[in-house]
Structure 1
């Protein structure tokens, strides 16, 4: 394996690793906020749950995008 191939694999690993760490942090913060809000006001569940799910999907897209970028880096 050449140095270029090794650096390519390190870059791909960093791309997916940092994306997943960021997504995990974001999902944790979003879940914390939503659950605290629902805990304080249970009647607001219907108003909080749908935006929460949308936020989780958008945050998860960051991790998926990191995976796609890692595959692109490895493919070249």
Structure 2
């Protein structure tokens, strides 16, 4: 997926459909961070929520370790 496709998927709340993203690779969002940074996003935080991992970008995108991506308003 391109950066633009990721933003569009996040705006409608979808799952990442990219073989370069490894769902469930870890519990603290390290893979989500790696993936987003590889697409040109600046990630401010990744962490373990206790149920899954999350990575958060400076532009408000959240990606879960299960591949769900959304934008917080």
Greater strand share, structure number: 2
Greater helix share, structure number: 1
Larger RCO (alpha carbons 8 Å, 6+ apart): 1
TM-score by length of 1: 0.22
TM-score by length of 2: 0.23
Q: Which has the larger radius of gyration?
A: 1
